[in-house]
Amino acid sequence: MSTRRQFLRDSAGALIVAWRWSSVPLSAFAPATDTALEPNAYLRVDGSGEVTLWVTRLEMGQGVRTLLPTILAEELGADWSKVRIEQASPGGRFKGIELHTSGSGSSSGAYRRLRTSAAAARDMLIAAAAKAWSVETASCRAERGWIVHEPSGRRRSFGSLAASASKQPVPEQPRLKDPASFTLLGKPMKRVDGPAIVTGRAIYGIDVRVPGMLFASIERAPTLGGALVRFDADAALRVPGVRHVVPVTRGILPGVAVVADDNWSALRGRAALTIEWASRPGPPFESEQYLAALPSACDRATFKVRHEGDAIAAKEAAASHYDASYLFPFQAHAPMEPMNCTADVRADRAEIWAPTQTDVRTIAQIVKVTGLPESAVTLHCVMMGGGFGRRLFADYAAEAVEISKAIVRPVQVTWTREDDMRCGYFQPATAERFTAGFDAAGALTALIHKTTASDLTIYDIHDGRNIWTAPPKPARGADDYEKDQSPWGAYDTPYEFPALRVDCADVTSAVPVGPWRAVEYPSTVFARESFLDEIAHRTGRDPIAFRLDLLPRDSRKVGPYTIDRARLARVLEQARERTGWSTPASARPGRRSGRGVAANVYHAGSYLAMVAEVSVADDLSDLRVHRLTTVVDCGIALNPLGVIGQTESGITWGLTAALLGKIDFKADAPVQKNFSDYHVMRIGQMPELDTVLLDSGASPGGFGEHPVPLVAPAIANALFAATGIRVRQLPLRLNQRPA
């Protein structure tokens, strides 16, 4: 059984990535030929001079297929215009290398590992050339596919050296390039898949075509925990093009699959099914009631997250105190490409094409459903039309495998948008409560944060339990959250408080939950940055100056993290300067304008400050976000074009959460069904985005999720500055008159 700790690390933990990237010794790889140089699995230099670079992470838009080869090419000294980029698939060449992609860990984890791998190959090429020329290796260098002997100007191509280089010993700890000499990293690199994408040639999971394949659509139980009682397939089987109707038990909900010659026939057949469902026992889930009761769960927050000083005593001794609670709703992932998977299961083998973030968990599902040994399974990890955490679950692959096994033919299961929105692993709703104590002079003496967290494992089909009827998991230990450095944003609060106490309560509901972009940070940071704004205003302080006062310019150890608070202070100061923070927000006739700030540190690696400028009409209608200024220090920006793109992407995601998105449940079912009622950001609502990269030269931090948590609090704080109204629930709604 997977524990919370394993799962969090497994599914969304940047922490595990460093370990994974270094789990295979560099010298363990056995090359296939001796005419090519391939000292490890990540790259090959052929005798023809062709350089092949393998992408050992999975692409969902974050740019790993561009970045990881750039890292390899840089350290190898390859000619970027001539490299061949190949997607790694699990097993075989990549046995022992997990492709699992989450937690914004690819760049930070890849940086040293891939550089070391490529440097080993480069040093072997240099050693071969130096031997041929009878010169010192130190006098040779690699440059755009050539080894150059500096003093004499002699050159030999990589290809001409590949065979002799392959006979050189593999250096275990090759010397890495001085970043000052980088010619690719740090430069804007365009997406390698751009030409394939703009011509429609890029192949996503849904585009996989296998000879003889059929198409399936699954009608799943309409309610959370619903069960299949019986079904009548006769009418469906009479629909032209329908071939099979089979029950499905391996997905998130039980269902009945209609398999046909094409998607439309499958959908028509599905509509013709007659199915009797049973509800789960007990009262149906209603999110309105659940959210109303959720803040009271903070009273039960007894799991230790982080304790520094005696915050309870400090609060008891305080001259005054102030508290506030915040609510974050359920959210859907809704990637543009709905869940889908193609499976071809035969008696002795299985071949699967899955748009997945997790090779590991998908293979585990395939093995479980087929009963085949892992060696008989071939998994192709294909491009994803977005992932955002949803594709860390393998339920959609399990269903396709189950159907193909039943009909003994290749089949592609495509979810409708309604399926995708209804049968999700949602971002859990959470409540946060903050209490601040002040001395007689109004200075902050204590901060108490009571947070709530949902176990992201309990609805996982991975361990094969019926998720709605399984017995509860064993109670967790009092300090398990602290050991997990969780919840993110609560555990790793970057600020220094005179006394700090963070405790957590487990909350659970009938709603399957899973990691969503930035996992726990969106709710904890919304609450924390809103609350800091509240107490700054209550004590008459400027919100940026107040935060800066809470940031000694030091490196602060928090468990395994070292938080460089000078870097956070610097991005805040830059944001203040860039936005003209001390001057009033732009006056807009008939409207009230204001600015708000938020700051956060993502896994001690990426430091951000954001300032929002918003306005509302005088009658408090029509909230508009005019501009978001984001200052990012994620260390070395390995691909500035990619980092800015990902920052804008995360901001847009955060805007949806701040202004629009939520999933409600009524009578055990999600209310929102499609993009017509699950509202997400569209182009006309986009504010002006001013994104600044502040390169501190530090090791690269993650940049797939980092800005998401800042957007809602920056806007909520700006809304307060504009109106005097504090909104503590997302999505932000102004339904009160001004105070």
Partner 1 sequence: MAAFTIIVNGTTHRVDADPAMPLLWVLRDRLNLTGTKYGCGAGACGACTVLHGDRAIRSCTMTLAAAAGQSFTTIEGLSPRGTDPCQRAWIDEDVAQCGYCQPGMIMTAAALLRANASPTAADIDTAFAGHICRCGTYTRLRAAVHRAAEYSK
Contacts to partner 1 from residues 525-584, by CB under 8 A: none
Q: Other C-beta atoms within 10 Å of 29: how many?
A: 19
Indicate whether 689 belongs to the interface with partner 1 (CB under 8 A): yes
Complex with partner 1: residue 383 or 456, whichever CB lies closer: 383
Complex with partner 1: residue 188 or 584, whichever CB lies closer: 188
The runs of H, that is alpha helices, within 13-77 are 14-21, 64-76
Complex with partner 1: residue 103 or 650, whichever CB lies closer: 650
Can you spell out the DSSP letters for 653-719?
HHHIIIII--B-EETTEES--STTTS----GGGPPEEEEEE----PPPPP-SSTTHHHHHHHHHHHH
**Token pair of 727, please?**
């909104």
User: Which of 88, 120, 161, 206 forms a contact with partner 1 (CB under 8 A)?
Assistant: 206
In 428-546, which ranges are E strands?
430-438, 444-453, 500-506
Is 691:642 a contact under the CB 8 Å cutoff?
no
User: Which of 583, 684, 735, 739 forms a contact with partner 1 (CB under 8 A)?
Assistant: 684
Least Cβ distance, residue 391 to partner 1 (angstroms): 11
Complex with partner 1: residue 428 or 661, whichever CB lies closer: 661
Q: Which stretch binds partner 1 (CB under 8 A): 194-202, 401-409, 595-603, 608-616?
A: 194-202
User: Which of 34, 136, 264, 313 forms a contact with partner 1 (CB under 8 A)?
Assistant: 264
Indicate whether 193 belongs to the interface with partner 1 (CB under 8 A): yes
Contacts to partner 1 from residues 381-440, by CB under 8 A: 383-388, 414, 416-417
Q: What is the DSSP letter of 204?
A: B
Helices 106-133 and 14-21, interaxial angle, to 10°?
20
Contacts to partner 1 from residues 231-250, by CB under 8 A: 240-241
User: Which of 11, 52, 56, 62 forms a contact with partner 1 (CB under 8 A)?
Assistant: 62
Indicate whether 107 belongs to the interface with partner 1 (CB under 8 A): no
Indicate whether 271 belongs to the interface with partner 1 (CB under 8 A): no
Indicate whether 335 belongs to the interface with partner 1 (CB under 8 A): yes
User: Which of 81, 134, 199, 375 forms a contact with partner 1 (CB under 8 A)?
Assistant: 199
Least Cβ distance, residue 220 to partner 1 (angstroms): 16
Q: Which stretch binds partner 1 (CB under 8 A): 311-319, 334-342, 618-626, 723-731?
A: 334-342
Q: Which stretch binds partner 1 (CB under 8 A): 178-186, 302-310, 592-600, 680-688?
A: 680-688
Least Cβ distance, residue 413 to partner 1 (angstroms): 13
User: Which of 293, 313, 319, 336 forms a contact with partner 1 (CB under 8 A)?
Assistant: 336
Least Cβ distance, residue 20 to partner 1 (angstroms): 23
Is 285:509 a contact under the CB 8 Å cutoff?
yes
User: Which of 262, 288, 374, 554 forms a contact with partner 1 (CB under 8 A)?
Assistant: 262
User: Which of 202, 367, 566, 660 forms a contact with partner 1 (CB under 8 A)?
Assistant: 202
Specify whether the backbone of 200 is left (phi greater than 0), alpha (psi in -120 to 50) or beta: left
Least Cβ distance, residue 632 to partner 1 (angstroms): 15
Complex with partner 1: residue 208 or 511, whichever CB lies closer: 208
Indicate whether 209 belongs to the interface with partner 1 (CB under 8 A): yes
Is 406:216 a contact under the CB 8 Å cutoff?
no
Indicate whether 514 belongs to the interface with partner 1 (CB under 8 A): no
Least Cβ distance, residue 194 to partner 1 (angstroms): 4
Least Cβ distance, residue 202 to partner 1 (angstroms): 6
Size of the site for partner 1 (CB under 8 A): 65
Compute the C-alpha angle 62/68/73, nearest 5°: 145
Q: Which stretch binds partner 1 (CB under 8 A): 140-148, 201-209, 474-482, 728-736?
A: 201-209
**Token pair of 553, please?**
């310019």
For the chain, the first-to-last Cα distance in angstroms comes to 52
User: Which of 176, 467, 671, 686 forms a contact with partner 1 (CB under 8 A)?
Assistant: 686
Complex with partner 1: residue 382 or 604, whichever CB lies closer: 382
Q: How far apart are CA 8 and CA 6, in angstroms?
A: 6
Indicate whether 190 belongs to the interface with partner 1 (CB under 8 A): yes
Q: How many angstroms separate the Cα of 347 from the Cα of each of 208, 344, 400, 404, 405?
A: 22, 10, 16, 11, 8
Complex with partner 1: residue 134 or 676, whichever CB lies closer: 676
Q: Which stretch binds partner 1 (CB under 8 A): 16-24, 402-410, 456-464, 651-659?
A: 651-659
Specify whether the backbone of 103 is left (phi greater than 0), alpha (psi in -120 to 50) or beta: left
Q: Which stretch binds partner 1 (CB under 8 A): 69-77, 95-103, 176-184, 642-650?
A: 642-650
Least Cβ distance, residue 714 to partner 1 (angstroms): 16
Contacts to partner 1 from residues 63-102, by CB under 8 A: 63
Q: How many angstroms separate the Cα of 3 from the Cα of each of 10, 103, 199?
A: 10, 18, 44
Indicate whether 645 belongs to the interface with partner 1 (CB under 8 A): yes
Is 533:612 a contact under the CB 8 Å cutoff?
no
Q: Which stretch binds partner 1 (CB under 8 A): 46-54, 263-271, 573-581, 714-722?
A: 263-271
Q: How many angstroms separate the Cα of 36 from the Cα of each of 22, 46, 52, 93, 252?
A: 24, 4, 11, 15, 46
Q: Which stretch binds partner 1 (CB under 8 A): 19-27, 587-595, 640-648, 723-731?
A: 640-648
Indicate whether 334 belongs to the interface with partner 1 (CB under 8 A): yes
Q: What is the DSSP letter of 542?
A: -
If DSSP codes are grouped into helix, strand and coil, which group holds residue 582? coil
Of the candidates 379, 312, 358, 335, which has an alpha carbon nearest to the alpha carbon of residue 675?
A: 335
Is 647:703 a contact under the CB 8 Å cutoff?
yes
Is 509:459 a contact under the CB 8 Å cutoff?
no
Indicate whether 179 belongs to the interface with partner 1 (CB under 8 A): no
Q: How far apart are CA 297 and CA 452, in angstroms?
A: 7
Give the strand order in the sheet containing 255-260. Answer: 242-248, 255-260, 214-220, 411-414, 340-345, 350-354, 377-381
**Token pair of 215, please?**
């198409």
User: Which of 203, 367, 617, 660 forms a contact with partner 1 (CB under 8 A)?
Assistant: 203
Least Cβ distance, residue 334 to partner 1 (angstroms): 6
Of the candidates 19, 360, 403, which has an alpha carbon nearest to the alpha carbon of residue 218?
A: 403
Containing H/E element for 45?
Answer: strand 43-45
Indicate whether 738 belongs to the interface with partner 1 (CB under 8 A): no
Question: What phi and psi, each to the nearest 5 degrees, are found at residue 114?
Answer: -70, -35
Q: Please write down the HEC assignment for all residues of 614-663.
A: EEEECCCCCCEEEEEEEEEECCCCCCHHHHHHHHHHHHHHHHHHHHHCCE
Residues making contact with partner 1 (CB under 8 A): 59-63, 188, 190-191, 193-195, 197-204, 206-207, 209, 215, 240-241, 261-265, 268, 334-338, 383-388, 414, 416-417, 641, 645-646, 648-653, 655, 674-676, 680-684, 686, 689
